Structure 1
């Protein structure tokens, strides 16, 4: 048995009602769904922890299926973003929801998480 290197991601956690992970082209996509709040943010956090565990992670957090998102979700995003940057990577959010846009602006996190309207295509 060999130890895992930083270049290989651990197995993503099992999908749950609030988050699932998939690899798409060069990105690790963590898709969130439903209500992300104090009671459910840890389900998203475990997926983001695994996604940011590699060297130079490129993570997209797809929030397009989220119905509610509060400061607990923002805290999870900030922690995951910090982990990604510490490893030379990046974390971006995907949403076109005006409510999430307002939340990011009101929280002062718009510049940190300027949302993409859709998942970018790699050519």
Structure 2
């Protein structure tokens, strides 16, 4: 069974010029066709599309209203500048389902890890000084 995960196209809101070796996050414009919560940015398969590389990103699309601004990370790895016109397709969105979210602001686990690391480093230094004294 094939499920079409394509949600739609993200278009540029203004003209963009990418210099050689430059990567930038630009704001794209997207019209929601249906209720979609999360999506991932994917490159467009169109031959006439720009030659910039689109970095995949998970974006939230569940904002109120029919229009959403999408951050798109684009990179120019060529030796020539790339010009993207306003209203040109930047990327496409594919619907995804997030199964589990990682806790972002977990200070307790980070603190315990850093304490364990510091105590291990202290023990390692003590062992090295004892070895130097014996030899």
More helix by share: 1
Give the number of the structure whose residues are more often strand, by fraction.
Answer: 2
After TM superposition, the score normalised by the length of structure 1 is: 0.22
Structure with the greater relative contact order (CA < 8 A, sep ≥ 6): 1 or 2?
2
Q: TM-score, normalised by structure 2?
A: 0.21
